[in-house]
């Protein structure tokens, strides 16, 4: 079963608009972590933001914020005032304890294209 679901394969957004990228997750653990990464065409994964399952406040990092709704098991990424350089693949990932070790489970990604 899918543990991380990103329902938007691709999105087009006008420059300077805000954009929300959806992520839902499935886990029975009480302690877990949620991540968003950006992957430009160069291939390197760039860490954007982290939310712990016990964090009461939504995480924010500059123009990035994470809309964490624990009961709905959703962790949407919000990018404010989008820029052309935001065009990339975006991945949601969950850190989960498996066989006494932590693993990152990844979604399939959303391709974001910012239009000038």
Partner 1 sequence: DAGVTQSPTHLIKTRGQHVTLRCSPISGHKSVSWYQQVLGQGPQFIFQYYEKEERGRGNFPDRFSARQFPNYSSELNVNALLLGDSALYLCASSPDRVDYEQYFGPGTRLTVT
**Contact positions toward partner 1, by CB under 8 A?**
4, 33, 35, 37, 42-47, 50, 52, 91, 93, 95, 98-99, 101-109
Least distance between partner 1 and beta carbon 115 (Å) = 22
Least distance between partner 1 and beta carbon 95 (Å) = 8
Q: Looking at beta carbons only, is 84 or 104 nearer to partner 1?
A: 104
| Alpha-carbon span 44 to 116, nearest angstrom | 24
Strands (E), 18-109: 19-21, 24-25, 33-39, 46-52, 60-61, 64-69, 74-79, 88-98, 101-106
Least distance between partner 1 and beta carbon 35 (Å) = 8
Q: Looking at beta carbons only, is 68 or 91 nearer to partner 1?
A: 91
Q: Looking at beta carbons only, is 76 or 109 nearer to partner 1?
A: 109
| Alpha-carbon span 40 to 29, nearest angstrom | 31
Q: Looking at beta carbons only, is 9 or 116 nearer to partner 1?
A: 9
* Number of Cβ within a 10 Å radius of residue 111: 14
Least distance between partner 1 and beta carbon 16 (Å) = 28
Q: Which contacts (CB < 8 Å, 24+ apart) does range 98-102 have?
A: none
């Amino acid at each position: 079963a899918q543990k991380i679901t990103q329902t938007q394969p691709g999105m087009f957004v006008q420059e300077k608009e805000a954009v929300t990228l959806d992520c839902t997750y499935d886990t029975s653990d009480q302690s877990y972590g949620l991540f968003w990464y950006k992957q430009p065409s160069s291939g390197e994964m760039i860490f954007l933001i982290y939310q712990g399952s016990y964090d009461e406040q939504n995480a924010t990092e500059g123009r990035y914020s994470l809309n964490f709704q624990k009961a709905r098991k959703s962790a949407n990424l919000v990018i404010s005032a989008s820029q052309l350089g935001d065009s990339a693949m975006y991945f949601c990932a969950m850190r989960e304890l498996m066989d006494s070790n932590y693993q990152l489970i990844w979604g399939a990604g959303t391709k974001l294209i910012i239009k000038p």
